[in-house]
Amino acid sequence: MLTWLAPLIVFGLVVFVHELGHFLAAKAMGVYAPRFSIGFGPALWRKRWGETEYVLALLPLGGYVRMASREDQATAFLEGGSEEKDVPEVGGNAAPPIAGGGDVTGSRDWDPNAMKPFGPKPIPEHRWFESKPLIARLFILIAGVSMNGVLAIVLDIGTLAGYGRPYIPAVVDSVVPSWPAARAGLMKGDSIAAIDGAPVREWQQLIGRVSGAPGRPVRFDVVRNGERRTLTVVPIDTQVVSQITGRAERVGRIGVMPASRLAREEMPFAEAVVGGWNSTWQKAGGIVQIVRGLFSGAVSTSQLGGPIAIAEVSVQAARGGLETLLSLISFLSINVAILNLLPVPILDGGQILLNILETAKGSAFSPRSREYILRAGLLAIALLFALVMFNDIKGLIQRLG
């Protein structure tokens, strides 16, 4: 049960929040939005409230908000334009004229007082997406990624406030023979109290101070069996290549491993707000660095994962408890926000760029040009999807083998 439920919760919440941002922004700007769909393909469930039809579709790999757009014919294939023939579409796929007031489309939701596609009334000029000023269109387009950012921040704040901040204590679990730590006399069970006079509580603090002192003597104050003693360690000067940036760096290493246990620090809500905000932005910065590394070649595309990898991680996170699951949702949400800002035509970033270029140009691109641009974007996404699915299937085969 968990194998199916966990990925649906993770995928569904991230997608729902993203599309809800677009939907609420469109409503606020007065744009007609006849469909709000979670998933693509045939509808498993649909219900119309007011002027919008809400849909749960078969393929839960995304979602969309259908808005009244004069470019509907070019984009219908991306946003459900060919779903069910008995539900007429907006714009290029609009319902045919009504003769005699009857429902010639066979739609179950036909309403003689409603606008297309649910009734015969035309969509007013001011309700079209293109009728809005640039600032309103950009607000609608950016609202999805903004909501993903808000979701990540809220989850990070809630996790810190509810569970406290986890950290690995600065306690030595093992020492590599013949390395600087062993030669200096560090032993299993030693608790690091200070380095060069600066207090240390977390293992990450130890790593930071040792890494920044390659080849330089470092004074360790350790507590062993209740007694405090001072040892001098000279970290080995080591060159490492960052997997994110691809740059070679000189760092210090001493040959110790931490105890495999987590401690927790309770945080007042105000501190949790600051910590959650910083945590979200740190994750966003890491994702940006990875994207840069992919374009520069410093990060291998073999590290990219797709739906199968995310589903597997979702199940593992759910088994690890609510805190782990919430952390995964937060990470995926900010991931979706960053990647959707890439200037690929069918993503939010590409649509933002297109709208800005059309405004600067003083007129819209021709239908043929826009169709070519959108199809190029679709091809790019299709190639990326093929790549991540290849990585997923390859990894699955290797694990099963």
> Residues near 161 by Cβ (< 8 Å), separated by ≥ 6?
267, 269, 272, 276
Of 43-47, 68-72, 147-151, the poorest mean pLDDT is in 68-72
Q: Would you say residue 43 has pLDDT above 80?
A: yes
- Residue 1 confidence (pLDDT) above 70: no
Residues in the chain: 401
Residue reference for tokens 């596609």: 117
- Looking at residue 311, what is its pLDDT? 67
pLDDT given at position 75 = 52
Domain 166-264: which topology?
A: Pdz3 Domain (2.30.42)
- In Å, what is the CA distance from 160 to each residue of 277, 279, 296, 326, 333? 11, 10, 35, 11, 17
pLDDT, one tens digit per residue, over 184-216 is 999 999 999 999 999 999 999 999 999 999 999
For residues 69 and 125, give the distance between their C-alpha atoms in angstroms, rounded to a whole number.
10
Looking at per-residue pLDDT, the higher value among 342 and 401 belongs to 342
Question: Using an 8 Å Cβ cutoff, are 333 and 155 in contact?
Answer: yes
More confident residue, 73 or 359: 359
Provide φ and ψ at 137, rounded to 5°.
Answer: -65, -40
Judged against a pLDDT cut of 50, whether residue 332 lies above it is answered with: yes
CA–CA distance, 355 with 364 (Å, rounded to integer): 8
229-266 exposure pattern, b = at least 16 Cβ within 10 A, e = fewer: eebebbbeeeeeeeebeeeeeebbbbbbebbeeeeeee
Q: What is the pLDDT of residue 190?
A: 94
- Across 379-386, average pLDDT: 80
In tens, the pLDDT along 96-143 reads: 332 333 333 444 567 888 898 888 999 999 999 999 999 999 999 999
Report the Cα 389 to chain-centroid distance in Å: 18
Confidence at 25, pLDDT banded by 50, 70, 90: very high
pLDDT at position 261 over 90: no
In this predicted model, what pLDDT tens digit does every residue of 54-109 receive, in sequence order? 999 887 778 889 999 876 555 544 444 433 333 333 332 222 332 333 333 444 56
- For the chain, give the mean pLDDT: 82
How much is the average pLDDT of 293-315?
Answer: 70
Separation of CA 279 from chain center: 14
Cβ–Cβ under 8 Å, residues 256 and 236? no
Q: State the greatest distance between any 2 C-alpha atoms of the chain, in Å, as a whole number.
A: 95
Reported as half-sphere exposure (CB side, CA atoms, 13 A), residue 176 has a value of 10
Residue 356, pLDDT > 90, answer: yes
- The SS3 of residue 392 is helix
What is the residue extent of each domain of the chain?
2-146, 166-264, 270-400
**Whole-angstrom distance, CA of residue 304 vs CA of residue 311:** 14
Q: Report residue 8's pLDDT band, with 50, 70 and 90 as the boundaries.
A: confident
